[in-house]
């Protein structure tokens, strides 16, 4: 009988390819920097092909004007 240290582990290895520049860009897509490493969420409603960009209302993902989209 083999002890745990003598047994061979047959673990699969996966290749991980993460584009951190693209991941950062996507993470910041719905946020606005307010300085000192802090961010504030912005409204993501598209108006004429552009994001609204106003600060979000309370803890919602829309500004005061667009809050009706989720209420």
Q: Is the pTM of this model over 0.75?
A: no
Residues 20 and 6: beta-carbon distance below 8 Å: no
- The reply to whether 25 falls in a domain is no
**Residue 54: predicted pLDDT:** 84
Total count of domains within the chain: 1
Average pLDDT for the chain = 81
**Residue 57: predicted pLDDT:** 77
- The reply to whether 36 falls in a domain is yes
Residues 44 and 28: beta-carbon distance below 8 Å: no
Determine phi and psi for 28, rounding to 5 degrees: -85, -5
Distance CA 53, CA 62 (A): 9
Distance CA 51, CA 25 (A): 15
- The reply to whether 41 falls in a domain is yes
- The reply to whether 61 falls in a domain is yes
**Residue 2: predicted pLDDT:** 65
**Residue 25: predicted pLDDT:** 93
Domain of residue 48, residue span: 32-69
- The reply to whether 55 falls in a domain is yes
**Residue 1: predicted pLDDT:** 64
Extract the residue ranges of the chain whose pLDDT is less than 50: none
Residue ranges of E strands in the chain: 31-35, 38-41, 46-47, 50-51
């Amino acid at each position: 009988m083999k002890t745990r240290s003598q047994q061979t582990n047959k673990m699969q290895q996966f290749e991980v390819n993460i584009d951190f520049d693209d991941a950062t860009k996507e993470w910041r897509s719905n946020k606005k920097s307010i300085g000192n490493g802090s961010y504030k969420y912005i409204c993501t409603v598209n108006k004429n092909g552009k994001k609204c960009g106003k600060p979000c209302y309370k803890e919602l993902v829309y500004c005061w004007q667009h809050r009706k989209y989720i209420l």
